[in-house]
Amino acid sequence: MTIHKTRMLILGSGPAGLSAAIYGARAGLKPIVVQGIQPGGQLMTTTDVENYPGFADVIQGPWLMEQMQKQAEHVGTTFHYDIITDVDLSRRPFRLTGDGGDVYEADTLIIATGAQAKWLGLDSERELAGKGVSACATCDGFFYRGRKVVVIGGGNTAVEEALYMTNHSPDVTLIHRRDSLRAEKILQERLFANERISVLWNKTVEKFVAGGSPEGLVGLDLKDTRTGEHSYVACDGAFVAIGHSPATELFQGQLALDEGYITVVPGTSRTAIPGVFACGDVMDKHYRQAVTAAGTGCMAALDAERFLAAAEFAAKRAEAA
């Protein structure tokens, strides 16, 4: 067993975690990043990225994360390929244990474990991911300008995605497995009032259909949940919008959660435990963008730096007294 001691431990290596690492390292805190199950976060499975500031041309998600990691390493961040299996936040330094037995003791902890989009679980969905099938209209909707698209789901996320897609597409179809939506009433009113949106009720997706050259999504095979009748809808893009699952299992019972997301003091990254901070999609249920994740990662590092400075000042004052 190896014990790693650090003033700043960061869990997660997506845009939030890496931004926190860059700011923490530049402050001389020599942060350690534990990369987790998916090093690089969700952008490692994203091909074309067109909405991250600073790049005139389309860039690749994995390349962007590689560059962010190199930048973090260059300024003094250490990376560990480990998965945390146990967390003790009852006292400082916080104590975390990896699946290989290594122990991490940290004066501050930044949680940037992210959230994963929920998928339908179809083989065809996985095969066509990035080829017409997406879980983020805000990220990928621009690529479907003037084309027919569908949005799958019935909650706030699905309705918001459908409304957003009307900025790009003149023909948006919302597909829902029930005969009524779960979304907030004000969102439903906006949806039903939008002439660009139609709704297919009581339908589940049986298969995402591939075709064309180069091969990509051309339509969906559907099944009626009441009659069992099969149907087909042609489309150029499909957005699965059935929610997200924040990676917060480790913190249940230790941190306050809201629908699974870590609760922070509004306008900050501070959690209810002094010295513990959260950033990125693990605490953001609304925006879920790489650029907003990076921004909150910066906030978390600055909040942690100020926390450490205040704690050290208080300790020196106590010694002098």
For residue 139, indicate whether it is catalytic: yes
DSSP state of 64: H
Phi, psi (rounded to 5 degrees) for 274: -55, 130
DSSP category for residue 155: S
Q: With beta carbons less than 8 A apart as the criterion, state whether 70 and 42 touch.
A: no
Long-range contacts (CB closer than 8 Å, 24 or more residues apart) made by 94-98:
94/9, 94/275, 94/276, 96/9, 96/11, 96/34, 98/34
Task: Considering the candidates 136, 235, 236, 281, report the single residue annotated as catalytic.
Answer: 136
Q: Residue 107 catalytic?
A: no
Residue 109 CA to residue 301 CA, distance in Å, equals: 10
- Active-site choice (82, 107, 140, 284): 140
Catalytic residue among 57, 82, 107, 139: 139
Listed residue (141, 135, 187, 132) closest to 166, CA to CA: 141
Residue 235 annotated to the active site: no
Euclidean distance between CA atoms 66 and 21, whole angstroms: 14
What's the N-to-C CA distance of the chain in angstroms? Answer: 39
Catalytic positions, written as ranges: 136, 139-140
